[in-house]
Chain A
């Protein structure tokens, strides 16, 4: 669906704390989801992905949770560091189309 909003939601956390970033996706038929990190002036960078046949996937310091019932994704970052400060986007992909639809993003601000 269309992204709406002139102001990104912002999450401020203290360095060392855990961060949880949430995302609601729009299409119940989406079967693949990705979290991207975008630093200022750069292109989005892949963090972690999950397929719809899973409800949890872990990477290095990051965990993605998928709740298909309510069409909700979350990204958990453990022991948040200043280098994690960025805008985080979730993207959904419909089967057989391989087109990614992005959410509007959440700005993560890590305070030292």
Chain B
């Protein structure tokens, strides 16, 4: 099993451009999350989903949108990128109802907005 896979791994955007980050998991997990990690800081929750077709805001949702059309995929969109969105983005999934409470993380997407 691949676990949690994020694409792309790296991306440079110009201010105002849009893009979508894709997260895919093959563990049949219900819950999926998007975090951002800035230098010297912990991970901050952007948005999350507790099942197909559902999304909810986390700690820092502004400037981002998400969609969970399929259970295995969780997309993070930036409509108009800003330099403040330069960060490393991590996707994670978990399945607490099945006892898999810990979150499994992808390898990250390093985004630079210039």
Contact = CB atoms under 8 A, between A and B. Distances in A.
Interface of A: 3, 5-8, 32, 34, 36, 41-46, 49, 89, 91, 93, 98-105
B90 interface: yes
Contacts of A105: 40-42
Contacts of B39: 6
Chain B binding surface, main DSSP class? strand
Contacts of A102: 35, 42-44
B64 interface: no
A42 B107 contact: yes
Interface residue tally of chain B, by bracket? 20 to 34
Given A49-B102, A98-B50, A98-B101, A104 B42 contact: yes
A103 B106 CA distance: 19
A104 B33 contact: no
Interface of B: 4, 31, 33, 35, 39-45, 48, 50, 58-59, 90, 92, 94, 96, 101-108
10 contacts: A3-B44, A32-B101, A42-B108, A89-B42, A91-B103, A99-B48, A99-B58, A100-B45, A104-B41, A105-B41
A44 B101 contact: no
A43 B108 contact: yes
Given A43-B107, A98-B94, A100-B33, A49 B101 contact: yes
Contacts of A7: 40
- Residue of B35, B44, B101 with highest tally of chain A CB at under 10 A: B101
B94 A89 contact: no
Contacts of B94: 98
Contact of A44 (B45, B58, B105): B105
A103 B40 CA distance: 11
